[in-house]
Amino acid sequence: MMKIDNKSISIVIHGGCFEKDAADVANILINYRKTFEESEIIFSISSSDFIDFDLSNEKSVFSFKKNMVSFCHIVNKYADKIAYSYMAQPLPPVFRGAPNCHANHMIESARNGLALASREFVLRTRNDLLFKDRSIVEEYIKLSENYYRKGKYTVFSSPVMISSLYTLNPFAGGRLPFHYSDWFNFGKLVDIRPIWDVPLVTLDFMTYYSTNYYMPGSKEKERNFNSRTAIEQYVYFSFFSKKFNKFKLDYHNDDRSIMESIQVLLDNFIISDIYYLNVYYPKYLNGFNSYGDNNTRIMQRAWEYLSTHRNVNPAEFLHVPRDKIRQYAPVIFPLKIGTEQLHTKTGFHFGKSIVIPYDAPPGVACFGPYITLGQGSYAARVSLSALYPEDEQCTIKISATGEEGKIVLGSREYNFDKVENYSHELVYLDFEFENTYENLIEFEIVIETFSKVDLSIDYILLSKVENKAKNNFPLINKLLKI
């Protein structure tokens, strides 16, 4: 089994340092040092409104604002090396309605930080994204050993891990080949450093479509771009086109190498859903998006399947018609549905749960996740980490519905007596139902209460019943960490 200890890891943390976000960035740096005590940490600064660049150096950073001296002290104490950017300037927006683009700040700070790294493995990450523990390392090892396969387009010595967020599916929505996520990279330094050794983006590139027509046949969503390609495409294609000069990407929706872009992805990268990695990422709600966005991305489970089933045609597997782009139909079960994908009328979201206060009125405690469900038999398990009826008895009803509640596939009621003592056990509510519709849209699990109850809902596990006897329980136990 592969082993990666902290001593073999460099962590390149890069991005802007501004007074309004300094406390968060400082706390993220402190946490990285605590978790990766023996790792090499490079703090790469892309721009700042308080750092004195003339006085600062690779070992120490200084501020021209007295109130930011403590931030500099933290960086000097917890970072092993400090890198700076001097050439990057803001650019016009990448696409219609977007803010100014800071691609060159990202490229220069990543490149300069990686230049100072010296360990075998490297985590390159934004300074507003914290991996709170070694989950990213353990997930990298697991996915490398269990799912990753080399292929004819493999150029890395080991696979490089990226996020599914912004690893776009070029067969759903807009055609954007080679659009791999740039939120973070984890892998061998020798593989990741050259990715970011690219020239800075030019103004001509960023305003390409102000003087050029879009490719004939471009649909409305593909006509949002101002720049010649997305920045993610620019970075990764710049690297891979040096290795394979037959690849074509003259503009963002140039689909001449669309199949090769997926093959390159499978042969060189590991895709991880970022919310499996125990992250702190307030800017993007820890990387959680609705299932309605999943068709436009290449999710971890899709990558796992395609990576281990090389006989499957990716174009057919990933294709989603435009009228079904928001109708995500999971094909791999069991599906663990976190509460970030669910809604509530009587409670609120906090942490990883939906919390129903003891004095909340009866009603719909939970509903969602609005996915498209294929025909078949299913079992739903609702995990509750608190259940305290306020009256002598309470009833909780679970229903499986479709088309915004117009179709009811089944329901079950549970009765619970009032308890005086605290409970330290999870409560599981299970029920099975049949879906006779070929593709039922807007599928939901609805949880209703009929009296006041202190309730906390943690997640819903949706399984196909026909797989239960063979392999369903082991997968459920793994997801539940039993």
Give φ, ψ of 171 to 5 degrees. -105, 15
Task: Find all residues with CB under 8 Å of 142, minimum gap 6, and list them.
Answer: none
How many whole angstroms separate alpha carbon 399 and alpha carbon 415?
15
The tokens describing 264, both together, are 């390159």
| Residue 416 scores a pLDDT above 80 | yes
Helix (H, G, I), strand (E, B) or coil at 84: strand
| Residue 482 scores a pLDDT above 80 | no
Length of the chain (residues): 482
Average pLDDT over residues 191-200: 98
CA 312 to chain centre: 25
Task: Find all residues with CB under 8 Å of 470, minimum gap 6, and list them.
Answer: none
Cis before residue 330, ω within 30 degrees of 0?
no
The tokens describing 131, both together, are 């991996």
| Residue 468 scores a pLDDT above 60 | no
| Residue 479 scores a pLDDT above 70 | no
Contact 453, 387 (CB under 8 A): yes
Rg of the chain in Å (alpha carbons): 25
Do the strands 407-417 and 393-402 form a parallel or antiparallel pair, or are they unpaired? antiparallel
Give φ, ψ of 19 to 5 degrees. -55, -40
Task: Give tens-digit pLDDT for 368-380.
Answer: 999 999 999 999 9
Task: Find all residues with CB under 8 Å of 377, minimum gap 6, and list them.
Answer: 432, 433, 434, 435, 464, 465, 466
| Mean pLDDT score of the chain | 93
Average pLDDT over residues 440-463: 97
Average pLDDT over residues 248-273: 97
pTM over 0.75: yes
Average pLDDT over residues 83-110: 95
Q: Of 42, 26, 36, 51, nearest to 6 (Cα)?
A: 36
Task: Give tens-digit pLDDT for 20-51.
Answer: 999 999 999 999 999 999 999 999 999 999 99
Helix (H, G, I), strand (E, B) or coil at 368: coil
What's residue 285's pLDDT? 64
Contact 319, 169 (CB under 8 A): no
The tokens describing 202, both together, are 């030019």
DSSP assigned state of 215:
P
Domain residue spans of the chain: 6-318, 335-480
CA 278, 282, 286, 288: dihedral to nearest 10 degrees? 170
| Residue 277 scores a pLDDT above 50 | yes
* Fold of the domain spanning 335-480: Jelly Rolls (2.60.120)
Do the strands 427-449 and 369-389 form a parallel or antiparallel pair, or are they unpaired? antiparallel
How many whole angstroms separate alpha carbon 41 and alpha carbon 57?
15
Burial of 253 (0-12, 13-18, 19+ CB in 10 A): buried
34 residue type, one letter: K
Helix (H, G, I), strand (E, B) or coil at 47: strand
Average pLDDT over residues 347-356: 95
